[in-house]
Amino acid sequence: MPCAAVVTIGCRLNQSEGDALRTLLQRQGNQVVAKTDWGFENSEGSAEANFDERRLETCIINTCAVTERAASTSIKWIRRIAALKPKPRLVVTGCLAQAEAERLKQIEGVDEVITQNEKVKLVEKCPILPSRARAFLKIQDGCVNRCAYCLPAQIRGAPVSKPISTVEQEMKDLLANGYQEIVLVGLNLGTYGYESGTTLVNLLERIAQIKGDFRIRLGCLEPDSFDDRIIDRFEEFRLCRHLHIPLQSGDDKVLSLMHRKYTITKYRTLIDRFVERIPDINIGSDLMTGFPEEDERSFNQTLAFIRDLPIDYLHVFPYSSRPGTAAYAIKETVNPAKKKERVNILRALGQEKSINYRRRFLNKVLKVITEPGSWVMTDNYIRIFINSKSNGKGSGRLAKARVMGVTMDRTLGELVES
């Protein structure tokens, strides 16, 4: 049987589309290699490479264009696969393929470039073939917002949502295949159904009624599109005690320049409501530093705001100018050295918040999903390293684990009997 693989760079939405590409390859008669089999780095942890790359006959690189670093990583993967001997058929798709198709066609070894729009049509009716313990289920794509730095929103176009009945059936199929945590993903998840007159709340009402032992995790939710009814019905909707709500800047001047549709006061009010309503919820956020006209006052305002905010981890990125965005025409005012310094300061604060949050659960038992090897993931988004000999439930199963230790970069624990 021919052997094929999909390498996906970028967000959970892209990961879900990558999983649909794996289904497509399987339907074409290929043995599809999971990322963990091949040792690819991914958000679910990494594995030692134990697969002979020379067996590959087809490889799809599912690219990302959100930052310069993501684009660079995509190019590196393309060149890595192109250098294999014998070289597999190399297909490149994803957001970078939409933004820079002609450039990618010129790379030696690339056999075909499929744009992002073409990819979406190609996998439109392909169920996902998850390559991880938790299934990333795409329910929405596109965005009405035009944040000044954002290229994916332009690439992916206007909002489009799957019908509730389709999502419900895909959920049932995943549960029937043994998945017990489903992560709902989209480019602007909170706007699910806006174009058809329904809402994310309507979807959650329906799928929460599905029979079975499972939990639902919401992907990234923008603060300006958040439906407050979710806060009041969190447990009813079987939601994990975890949310990722991007902030980008803790300074109103910079938020306005970014074309973000909220103020820091509105953001703080939203976060406080969640913390008050849902005990031990883990809230994370994205921060971008070095945006044009982010001066020392703006950065210090962000630092102070984040330090006082009850969020528990940070994804911090330096601003990178992307052709085609509104900010591309704005002169950069923060040099690379200063960007790096600010990134390091914010990441250090994020580490401090993370370790303080995780320490709250020492000696406590938490609900987890088992992952490959020696890892489990709690409902409140703490990845715990356990003794691999203790992980006898297999991957993707609900279990319980006790937190035994916390270090700067790791949480240690053990599985316990239910």
What are the structural domain ranges in the chain? 3-122, 365-416
Burial code (b: 16+ CB inside 10 Å, e: under 16) for 115-144 equals bbeebbeebeebebbbbbbbbbbbbbbbbe
Tokens of residue 300, six digits? 């210090």
Nearest to 146 by CA among 115, 101, 187: 187
Whether pLDDT at 93 is above 90 = yes
Q: For residue 27, what are the contacts with CB-CB under 8 A and spacing of at least 6?
A: 126
Tokens of residue 408, six digits? 């700067």
Q: For residue 29, what are the contacts with CB-CB under 8 A and spacing of at least 6?
A: 1, 2
| pLDDT for the residue numbered 378 | 98
pLDDT tens for 145-199 read: 999 999 999 999 999 999 999 999 999 999 999 999 999 999 999 999 999 999 9
Share of the chain above pLDDT 90, in %: 87
Q: Is residue 247 within 8 Å of 255, Cβ to Cβ?
A: no
Residue type, position 157, single letter: G
- At the top level of CATH, which class does the domain 3-122 belong to? alpha beta
Q: Is residue 141 within 8 Å of 159, Cβ to Cβ?
A: yes
Q: Is residue 49 within 8 Å of 117, Cβ to Cβ?
A: no
Q: Is residue 345 within 8 Å of 303, Cβ to Cβ?
A: yes
Rounded to the nearest integer, the mean pLDDT of the chain is 92
**313 phi and psi, to 5 degrees?**
-160, 160
pLDDT tens for 272-315 read: 999 999 999 999 999 999 999 999 999 999 999 999 999 999 99
Whether pLDDT at 46 is above 90 = no
| pLDDT for the residue numbered 49 | 37
| pLDDT for the residue numbered 47 | 29
| pLDDT for the residue numbered 202 | 98
pLDDT range class, residue 391, cuts 50, 70, 90: low
Q: How many CB atoms lie within 10 A of CB 86?
A: 9
Q: Is residue 380 within 8 Å of 280, Cβ to Cβ?
A: yes
Rounded-to-integer distance, Cα 359 and Cα 407, Å: 9
Share of the chain above pLDDT 70, in %: 93
Whether pLDDT at 373 is above 90 = no
What pTM, to 2 d.p., does this model score? 0.93
Structurally, at CATH architecture level, domain 365-416 sits in Beta Barrel (2.40)
Q: For residue 362, what are the contacts with CB-CB under 8 A and spacing of at least 6?
A: 403, 404, 405, 406
Q: Is residue 110 within 8 Å of 89, Cβ to Cβ?
A: no
